[in-house]
A and B are shown apart, each in its own frame.
Chain A
Amino acid sequence: MHTVLLRKLLEALLTLLFATLIIFALIRLAPGDPVRLMLGHPGEIAAQGTSAYDEKVAELRAELGLDRNIAVQYVTWLGRLAQGDLGTSIFTGKQVGSEIAARLPATVTLSLSALLVQIALGLIFGMVAALRSGKLADQLIRIACVALASTPAFVVGLVALALFAVKYGVYEISSDFSAARLWLPALTLGVLGAPQLVRIMRANLLTEFGKIYVSSAQSRGLDRKRVVRHAARNALIPLVTMVALSFAGLIGGAVVIESIFSWPGIGKYALDSILVKDYPVIQGYALVAVLMVVLIHFLVDVVYSALDPRIHHKGEAGREEKA
């Protein structure tokens, strides 16, 4: 199994590398001279047109290595990244790395909490829907899921805010990162993402119910609870992969939620930066987001290998070759 994990780690690193390449390419492809953009700091605009400005441009250009060939630029850039230097924010002049690091805990807390909510709802309602498949409970759950999946995140968010903050006053409108303010955005985000998990859980369980080992367990006289447990054990494994994919969606979805609830995470930070064209921040945000996704995918791969004995006993999803 260790060879499998090592290979997956290598793949993850490779993926990360290529992702950085894409980000680098995008930045270089963006219209506008990066240097002049970077010097677009309010204080510097006044200096445009003077020779002092041109000197500064040349200086910055040399410092950023923009006068050298593109491959070298990439490598130097990569080197800086590896050391944690994500550049300097044009707007605030602070280090992007530390700005993001300051806001990261908020986003991570939000995403993970939402993930927990999603998983809990997905498992519970998915199981109920499968067990009562075809009956009223199943129909209701499916209707609820379809309705929820059709509603834009921000609508739900705004409505939640209107209800709980304005109408009932149980939620505080501010920009704090506090435990008391976590519940509403986490719940909202989690509920929005739950329908997908419910659907997959239901489908997986129903598929397992049709398999022979379930009939076999029944034939041994086991009660319903235990028979369902047999099926659930198998149905849950592919769900783990689903969690990985969900997480990528959560990081994206968090942006809207952070915006609505004024949750001080990296999503909101990036959004604000886009509107003022603060390129280093955008770049930093992209890199951090990608890093998180790749990390989660890798962790999920590890967990999956551990859970499915067919993998960790054979090193490959053993499909018996029928000779």
Chain B
Amino acid sequence: MKRRLNSKNPASLIIGLVVLAILAIAILGAPLLAPYDPVAQNAAERLEKPSEKHWLGTDRFGRDILSRTLHGGQTTLLSSLLALCAALAIGLLVGMAAGMFHGSALDHILMRIIDVLLAFPFMVFAMVIAGLFGTGLVHLLLAVVSVWWVSFARLTRSVVLHAKNETSYAAAKVLGASNLAIMRKELLPKAISPVLILATFELGTLILSIAALSFLGLGAQPPAPEWGSMLADGRAHFFQAPHILIGPAAFIVATVLAFNLIGEGLRDRLDPYEKLEL
């Protein structure tokens, strides 16, 4: 049996990027592209199936689903990206510090904090925050960031510990590099690609989780056209009018799929630390 390396097939990367580009254009251009006002209600056209007039149909208030989906994407995507950037920054910082000062009190404390946060399943934490502090997208995002940085921190720390064993690290130390210089020149470059790859996957999961929480009624509240809340809206009428969910669901799947494909493509090309994801 011969071991084949991951085929350097750029297909997934390209498809992912293309889909993402299309979605980005559609969503960011919502104000221009959407045919209707996303919050405009029209009782006469309630729960209409997809037709030429309304490509994705209308919801129970007669609002055009396509327009709502396009506008809603802005909220979803932008807030996800924001949350991800925050989590990424914190995670990289913490992971780098913990790895750099491995074995010290700082490392132990940080690892302890990480362990404790890992004890909270994300959903549970989000639910607790929603329950205690109220629902809404902002609270949701805070909950997300509080817990999400942990996976980035762990990966970064893993990479750093691995890198510390390498000759190039020892060489840099012997040559008089300060800790900061080593972090910048040796460790950060090594950590960037696996962390970025993880980030693309996590972004997908993030969008799914935000959607799920909104679906459950804990996230963005109506009438905000955020994808998850649109799904919550449509849930009540799902069996009679399944088309309500199709619009936002399809966009969610497409977005997350795009990110996952990009992640897979990147990983095939770049990541020597695949096993370290654990």
Specify whether A and B are partners: yes
> Could you say which residues of chain A place their CB within 8 Å of the CB of B238?
158, 162
Q: Chain B interface residue count: which class?
A: 35 or more
- Stretch touching chain B among A65-73, A81-89, A112-120, A144-152: A144-152
Chain B residues within an 8 Å CB radius of A142: 264
Which chain A residues numbered 9 to 31 have a C-beta less than 8 Å away from chain B? 11, 14-16, 18-19, 22-23, 26-27, 29-31
List residues 108-146 of chain B with CB under 8 A from any CB of chain A. 112, 115-116, 118-125, 127-134
User: Is residue A108 contacting chain B, with contact meaning CB distance below 8 A?
Assistant: no
Q: Which of A132-170 contact B (CB under 8 A)?
A: 133-134, 142, 146-147, 149-155, 158, 162, 166
Asked whether B85 is an interface residue with its Cβ less than 8 Å from the other chain, the reply is no
In the complex, A151→B212 CA distance in Å? Answer: 11
A200 close to B277 (CB less than 8 A): yes
Is B257 close to A, CB under 8 A?
A: yes
Q: A282–B212 contact, CB under 8 A?
A: no
B3 at the interface (CB under 8 A from A): yes
Partner of A152, one of B12, B119, B235, B253: B253
Which A residues are CB-close (under 8 A) to B208?
150, 152-153
A282 and B132 contacting across the interface, CB-CB below 8 Å: yes
Using CB atoms, name the residue of chain A closest to B12. A146
Contacts of A209 in B (CB 8 A): 1, 3
Residue B242 contacts which of A19, A162, A245, A279 (CB distance < 8 angstroms)?
A: A162
Contact of B260 with A by CB under 8 A = yes
The smallest C-beta distance from B113 to any residue of chain A, in angstroms, reads 8
Q: Does B148 contact A (CB under 8 A)?
A: no
B37 at the A/B interface (Cβ < 8 Å)?
no
Q: Which of B1, B128, B216, B256 contacts A256 (CB 8 A)?
A: B216
A150 touches B256 (CB 8 A): yes
Docked pose: A274 CA to B12 CA in angstroms: 41
**A30 x B133 contact (CB < 8 A):** yes
Q: Which of B119, B123, B253, B260 makes the CB contact (< 8 A) with A16?
A: B119
A220 at the interface (CB under 8 A from B): no
B-chain residues with CB within 8 Å of residue A271 when the two chains form the complex:
127, 216
B231 interfacial contact with A, CB 8 Å? yes
Residues on B with beta carbons closer than 8 Å to the beta carbon of A242: 278
> How many interface residues does A have (CB within 8 Å)?
68
Tell me the dominant secondary structure on chain A's binding face: helix
Contact of B231 among A22, A154, A207, A252 (CB under 8 A): A154
Q: With an 8 A cutoff between CB atoms, is A189 at the interface?
A: no
- Cβ of A273 to closest chain B Cβ, rounded Å: 7
Q: Are B274 and A203 in contact (CB under 8 A)?
A: yes
Contacts of B239 in A (CB 8 A): 162, 166
Chain B residues with CB below 8 A from A104, complex form: none
Contact bitstring B232-258, A, C-beta under 8 A = 1, else 0: 000100110010010001001100110
Interface string of A199-217 (1 = CB under 8 A from B): 0100110110110000000
Q: Write the chain B residue with the least CB distance to A154.
A: B215
Return chain B residues, CB-CB under 8 Å to A293.
118-121
Say yes or no for A35: interface residue by CB 8 A criterion: no
B92 at the interface (CB under 8 A from A): no
Interface presence of B218 (CB below 8 A): yes
* Bound CA span A155–B122, Å: 19
User: Residue B94 at the A interface, CB < 8 A?
Assistant: no
**Contacting pair A155 B245 (CB below 8 A):** yes
Q: Does A184 make an interface contact (CB < 8 A)?
A: no
Instruction: Report A-chain residues with C-beta under 8 Å of the C-beta of B123.
Output: 251-253, 255-256
Q: How far is the CA of A26 from the CA of B116 in the complex (A)?
A: 14
Q: Which of A228, A274, A289 contacts B218 (CB 8 A)?
A: A274
Answer yes or no: A2 CB below 8 A from chain B CBs: no
Is B216 within 8 A of A146, CB to CB?
no
Question: Whose C-beta in chain B lies nearest to the C-beta of A27?
Answer: B132
Q: Is the CB of A149 within 8 A of B1?
A: no
A290 touching B211 in the complex, CB below 8 Å, given contacts A150-B260, A203-B274: no
B275 engages A285 (CB within 8 Å): no
CB distance from B92 to the nearest CB of A (A): 20
For A155, what are the chain B residues with a Cβ–Cβ distance below 8 Å? 245, 249, 252-253
Q: How far is the CA of A283 from the CA of B118 in the complex (A)?
A: 17
Evaluate contact between B260 and A146: CB separation under 8 angstroms.
yes
Across the interface, A11 reaches (CB within 8 A) one of B3, B115, B122, B249, namely B115
Q: Could you tell me if A30 and B132 are in contact, using CB atoms closer than 8 angstroms?
A: yes
Q: How far is the CB of A103 from chain B (nearest CB, A)?
A: 15
Q: Is B47 an interface residue (CB 8 A)?
A: no
* Complex Cα gap A147–B254 (Å): 9
Distance in angstroms between the alpha carbons of A270 and B123 in the assembled complex: 11
Residues of B within 8 A of A154 (CB): 211-212, 215, 231
Closest to B121 in A: A252
Q: Which residues of A contact B (CB under 8 A)?
A: 11, 14-16, 18-19, 22-23, 26-27, 29-31, 131, 133-134, 142, 146-147, 149-155, 158, 162, 166, 200, 203-204, 206-207, 209-210, 218, 224, 227-228, 238, 241-242, 245, 248-249, 251-253, 255-256, 259, 270-271, 273-275, 277, 279, 282-283, 285-286, 289-290, 293-294, 297
**Which 4 A-B residue pairings sit nearest by Cβ, starting from the closest?**
A252-B123, A252-B121, A30-B132, A150-B257
Given contacts A30-B133, A146-B264, 4 further A-B contacts (CB under 8 A): A14-B112, A152-B256, A248-B121, A285-B124
Could you pull out 13 A-B pairs where Cβ atoms are within 8 angstroms? A18-B112, A31-B134, A142-B264, A147-B257, A152-B208, A152-B211, A152-B212, A152-B256, A154-B215, A249-B121, A256-B123, A279-B131, A286-B128
